[in-house]
């Protein structure tokens, strides 16, 4: 038996609770999965918050164990790559949506989905990073691959006090960029500057409808907000600048014109962390192990137990959480 958060929806009535489940239930719910892990830590991302509060149709299959992230130790494997005792990370692949996820003491995944914990990191640190931090690194790598360098100018990070934003600021500042943080929580300005932001911008300056082309400012953008914020960020990006889009906290819409793209050569790059190819995942995690200061990571992370994840979910959807929340599933 093992504990897990268990989501049900019967006749459109949603329920979430911590339950005792058994191996038979786990195996029945994870067909095609060939690696079982003892989960040490998971986390609560924005998508997890939506699933745990039923605020959005994240869950595709019922009942569901949520959690798009997990880190732990292999306890059984029928996959050629993995052996008992291996330390592994899981991010995305529809886990916590279509497949039972990581907010549990045990989980079963396909071996092809897993990444080895990088040398020098432990399970807790990988979940302090989680999908949010791994996505932030994917955005940084996209800027790097497009040739954006610190000399090109300022980088805008939207949704700055959230998980993606907090880690993106830390990574970009370490890479030598001048980072401007956009947030709806100006009370967090000291926190954002401690992470490396050179300046803090009120999100209201980006959140309303704006002109198709605006004064050029940003050499690059990491956007986790979408909607008018993303449209304005594109409209303010310098000629040949690069905008990475990885979230939709403001909305899924994109009320923009083609003007920034055809008149300034702005590049808009989508960052998909869920189905990201293995080679790019490994590149991102290796870079995180090299570049992310453990002390900085600790400063933006708090830890809760499995039973507390539901209350955190409500807070994260209400934008009351800053940084990262690690879930110790065995606490």
Percent pLDDT > 90 in the chain is: 90
pLDDT in tens, 140-181: 999 999 999 999 999 999 999 988 999 999 999 999 999 999
- Reply yes or no on whether the pLDDT at 87 is more than 90: yes
Tokens (6 digits) for 24 = 């038979």
Beta-carbon-side half-sphere exposure of residue 217 (alpha carbons within 13 Å): 17
Q: Where in the chain is the domain with CATH 3.90.180.10?
A: 2-117+300-328
Give the per-residue pLDDT at 69.
97
- Reply yes or no on whether the pLDDT at 323 is more than 90: no
Report the b/e string of 32-49 with b at 16+ CB within 10 A: ebbbbbebbbbbbbbbbb
Beta-bridge mates of residue 179: 155, 197
Give the per-residue pLDDT at 156.
98
Q: Where in the chain is the domain with CATH 3.40.50.720?
A: 131-270
Spatial neighbors of 184 by CB under 8 A, at least 6 apart, are 202, 203, 204, 207, 319
pLDDT in tens, 195-208: 999 999 999 999 99
**215 close to 158: Cβ distance less than 8 angstroms:** no
Percent pLDDT > 70 in the chain is: 100
User: Is residue 331 very low, low, confident or very high in pLDDT (cuts 50, 70, 90)?
Assistant: confident
- Reply yes or no on whether the pLDDT at 8 is more than 90: yes
pLDDT in tens, 206-221: 999 999 999 999 999 9
- Reply yes or no on whether the pLDDT at 102 is more than 90: yes
Beta-bridge mates of residue 81: none
User: Is residue 299 very low, low, confident or very high in pLDDT (cuts 50, 70, 90)?
Assistant: confident
Give the per-residue pLDDT at 319.
84
- Reply yes or no on whether the pLDDT at 296 is more than 90: no
pLDDT in tens, 114-129: 999 999 999 999 999 9
pTM of the model: 0.93
- Reply yes or no on whether the pLDDT at 321 is more than 90: no
Give the per-residue pLDDT at 179.
98
**Rounded Cα gap, residues 63 and 47, in angstroms:** 17
User: Is residue 320 very low, low, confident or very high in pLDDT (cuts 50, 70, 90)?
Assistant: confident
pLDDT in tens, 246-292: 999 899 999 999 999 999 999 999 999 999 999 999 999 999 999 99
Q: Domain 2-117+300-328 carries which CATH code? A: 3.90.180.10
- Reply yes or no on whether the pLDDT at 56 is more than 90: no
Q: Domain 131-270 carries which CATH code? A: 3.40.50.720
């Amino acid at each position: 038996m093992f504990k897990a958060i268990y989501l049900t929806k019967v006749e459109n009535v949603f329920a979430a609770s911590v339950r005792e489940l058994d191996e038979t239930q786990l195996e029945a719910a994870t067909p095609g999965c060939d690696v079982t892990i003892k989960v040490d830590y998971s986390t609560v991302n924005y998508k997890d918050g939506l699933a745990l509060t039923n605020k959005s149709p994240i869950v595709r299959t019922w009942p569901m164990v949520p959690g798009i992230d997990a880190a732990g130790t292999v306890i059984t494997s029928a996959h050629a790559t993995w052996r008992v005792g291996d330390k592994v990370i899981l991010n995305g692949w529809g886990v916590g949506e279509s497949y039972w996820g990581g907010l549990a003491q045990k989980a079963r995944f396909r071996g092809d989905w897993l990444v080895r914990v990088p040398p020098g990191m432990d399970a807790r640190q990988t979940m302090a990073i989680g999908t949010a931090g791994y996505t932030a690194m994917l955005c940084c790598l996209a800027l790097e691959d497009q040739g954006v360098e610190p000399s090109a100018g300022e980088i805008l990070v939207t949704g700055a006090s959230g998980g993606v934003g907090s880690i993106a600021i830390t990574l970009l500042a370490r890479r030598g960029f001048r980072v401007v943080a956009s947030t709806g929580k100006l009370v967090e300005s000291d926190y954002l500057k401690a992470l490396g932001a050179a300046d803090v911008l009120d999100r209201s300056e980006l959140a309303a409808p704006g002109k198709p082309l605006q004064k050029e400012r940003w050499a690059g953008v990491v956007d986790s907000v979408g909607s008018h914020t993303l449209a304005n960020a594109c409209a303010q990006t310098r000629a040949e600048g690069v905008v990475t889009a990885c979230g939709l906290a403001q909305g899924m819409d994109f009320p923009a014109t083609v003007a920034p793209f055809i008149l300034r050569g702005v590049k808009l790059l989508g960052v998909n962390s869920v189905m990201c190819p293995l080679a790019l995942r490994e590149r991102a995690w290796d870079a995180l192990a090299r570049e992310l200061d453990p002390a900085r990571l600790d400063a933006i992370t708090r830890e809760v137990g499995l039973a507390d994840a539901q209350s955190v979910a409500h807070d994260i959807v209400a934008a009351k959480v800053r940084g990262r929340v690690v879930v110790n599933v065995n606490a």
